[in-house]
Amino acid sequence: MRKLFVFIIFVVSCNDNTHIPSDVIKPDKMQAIFWDIIRGDILAEEIARKDSSKNIKDEKAELTKKIFSIHKTDQRTFENSLAFYEKHLDLMKTIFDSLNAKQVNRNYMEFERNKHSPRKLPLSSPLINKHE
């Protein structure tokens, strides 16, 4: 699914119509859903990596259902909305630019938080065990 998102970003659209039909998920909500789907995909990969009995595809599908439930939407509405945004890439670009800005901000905040906290070495670090 991420490959589809990346592909959509790079496609150029000539359509300037920005009216969003009532049955299409609005850009802010679409951004929130995309954000959660991306994070859900990462979580599914972690779950499958840590538990060999878990199937990554099944985990992603289950988390995606939960994400749609949280956002009070469904797969069909999301896919119809995605199809709309694929035809209006100026709107899609705005959504993805916002996602990118959100991630950049999170990275910056994490960097700042870690910059001011003392570094902790793992217990098995060669620097700790050097004099033993």
pLDDT at residue 12 tops 50:
no
pLDDT at residue 3 tops 70:
no
Q: Say if residues 38 and 102 touch (Cβ distance below 8 Å).
A: no
Band the pLDDT of 132: cuts 50, 70, 90: very low
Average pLDDT over all residues of the chain: 82
pLDDT at residue 119 tops 70:
no
pLDDT at residue 128 tops 50:
no
As separate numbers, helices (DSSP H) first and strands (DSSP E) second, the chain gives 5, 0
pLDDT digit string, tens, across residues 35-81: 999 999 999 999 999 999 999 999 999 999 999 999 999 999 999 99
Angle at 37 between CA 33 and CA 1, to 5 degrees: 115
pLDDT of residue 121: 55
Chain centroid to CA 120: 29
90-95 average pLDDT score? 94
86: closest CA among 7, 8, 19?
8
Q: Higher-confidence residue: 30 or 6?
A: 30
Q: Tokens 């300037």 label which residue?
A: 16
Q: DSSP letters of 16-79?
A: ---PPPTTSPPHHHHHHHHHHHHHHHHHHHHHHHH-TTS-HHHHHHHHHHHHHHHTT--HHHHH
87-109 average pLDDT score? 90
Q: Where are the domains of the chain?
A: 22-101
pLDDT of residue 8: 52
Q: CA-CA distances (angstroms) from residue 86 to 47, 91, 98?
A: 31, 9, 17
